[in-house]
Amino acid sequence: MAVPGLFAQDLEKSPYHVFLDYDFAVTLEVVEDGNMVTPILNMIAFSGGSWEISPADIKLLNDKGLYASEFRFSLDTGGSQPYVTTFLKLSGGDYLGFDLVGDFGDYKEPKLARIRFGEEWFTLDPLDRDAFDTVINGLSLLDLTNPDLIRAFEKLDLRLLGSRELLDDQ
Residue 10 within a domain: no
Residue 160 within a domain: yes
Give pLDDT tens digits for 71-109: 999 999 888 999 999 999 999 989 999 999 999 999 999
Residue 60 within a domain: yes
Higher per-residue confidence, 166 vs 7: 166
Residue 11 within a domain: no
Number of domains in the chain: 1
Residue 7 within a domain: no
| pLDDT over 80 at 157, yes or no | yes
| pLDDT over 80 at 9, yes or no | no
Give pLDDT tens digits for 36-85: 999 999 999 998 899 999 999 999 999 999 999 999 999 998 889 999 99
Residue 91 within a domain: yes
pTM of the model: 0.91
Phi, psi (degrees; rounded to nearest 5) at 16: -125, 125
Residue 2 within a domain: no
**Do the beta carbons of residue 122 and residue 82 sit within 8 Å?**
no
Q: pLDDT band for position 169 (50/70/90)?
A: low
CATH number of the domain bearing residue 138: 2.60.40.10
**Quick one: pLDDT at residue 4?**
41
Residue 3 within a domain: no
Range of the domain at 34: 16-165
Give pLDDT tens digits for 115-131: 999 999 999 999 999 99
